[in-house]
Amino acid sequence: MPVARNAKTLSTKQPRAGKGAPVTENVPPEKEESCQAKRSPSSPQGGPKKRSAFGDLTNAHKNQAVAGKKDGVKSAPRKALRAPTATGVAKNNEVNLKKSLRKTPPTEDPEEPEKDPVPEEPVQAPVLEDIDKEQLGDPYANAQYAKDIFDYMREREEKFLLPDYMDKQVDISGDMRAILVDWMVEVQENFELNHETLYLAVKLVDHYLVEVVSMKDKLQLIGSTAILIASKFEERCPPCVDDFLYICDDAYKREELVAMERSILRTLNFDINIPIPYRFLRRFAKCARANMETLTLARFLCEMTLQEYDYARERPSKLAASCLLLALTMKNLGGWTPTLEYYSGYRAQDLHPLVKRLNFLLTYQPHDKLKAVRTKYSHRLFFEVAKMTPMDMLKLEEKLKS
């Protein structure tokens, strides 16, 4: 069986226009977003609340009245020891108010006496690494747009979150979906397709089944058509229609495959640029300076989740970050660094529950009869990472807490 090619570099075909704002590497994403989101002065939570005109005059009058009483006592003659009348106080207040307005310009506030600056303790900022700096001279890498592209993909994750659609599928179950994905992995190997093609095809199947109730005899047709669409989107030389009819053992006609292609594209409104975890995984592995063996282990963990319906509703970026963290932990290569936290947007604590679930999946293998992924990553080309012993759950918890 031909061996799958190494995955290509991340394609940056359509960088977003107008999003190339300068990025401060030392500011975490949460603070960066809060710095950019300036509040409008007219909003209820924006600038200071406006006071009424009468309120200003009343407050000024009260302040000046207190000042006027003191001045009135000082300026009163010694013989007149009687308490000043209300009329006299009002006149004195009016005179003092006019004098103060002449002396002090209305636009200037009285300056407060300067206080000695209090020495602040120096705060050590986390050391962040510019992972795109090395590729700035490469015109094909588009390193200056890399962070903007992945920020855009994170935004698109919100649009493509999957609901629990198996409840409305009367003839399809999670086990049938797992069998289909296992077959799609073999197709990806036989045609030597990119890994991005496989991940995108699985996403197309899931999003199509969210909208359309299908029968189990059409499930393989949906899967093969999804691979065809994903190949046209990702591959430089995609397989032809006849190739997909052949791998389906001529169970479907050419007209049925073409009709299913139109149906999938119309159902998804031709918006098939769906974020996939594989792209985020390559990005995060670059942040961690992970070698090829560690990246392959994380890819194996991530590909194991494709056939598990419970992981289909996870965010692609969070799934990729959790797979990498588990791979780093299994290889004793340290934990989640500030650079990884900055570029991924996830803290280590946010990933711990999903990391434990992934280790449980690796240990117990719910679909142990579906061996396409394990057979694929047991090859020497993939460093035989599928043969690695899973971590003990107690040791994993200790390492995650440390």
Retrieve residue 367's tokens.
């679909």
Rg (alpha carbons) of the chain, rounded to whole number: 33
Q: What is the pLDDT along the chain (402 residues), one digit of tens a residue?
A: 444 444 444 344 444 444 444 433 444 444 444 444 433 333 334 433 343 333 343 444 444 444 444 444 444 444 444 444 444 545 555 555 455 555 445 444 445 555 566 656 666 667 788 999 888 888 888 889 999 999 999 999 999 999 999 999 999 999 999 999 999 999 999 999 999 999 999 999 999 999 999 999 999 999 999 999 999 999 999 999 999 999 999 999 999 999 999 999 999 999 999 999 999 999 999 999 999 999 999 999 999 999 999 999 999 999 999 999 999 999 999 889 999 999 999 999 999 999 999 999 999 988 888 999 999 999 999 999 999 999 999 999 999 998
The amino acid occupying position 39 is R
Give the chain's domains with CATH numbers.
Answer: 163-267 (1.10.472.10), 277-401 (1.10.472.10)
Retrieve residue 82's tokens.
């009687």
In sequence order, what are the residues at sequence separation of 6 or more whose Cβ sits closer than 8 angstroms to the Cβ of residue 169? 209, 213, 214
Q: How many CB atoms are closer than 10 A to CB 60?
A: 13
Among 158, 159, 236, residue whose Cα is nearest residue 197? 236
pLDDT of residue 128: 86
In sequence order, what are the residues at sequence separation of 6 or more whose Cβ sits closer than 8 angstroms to the Cβ of residue 203? 160, 274, 276
Q: What is the largest CA-CA distance in the chain?
A: 121
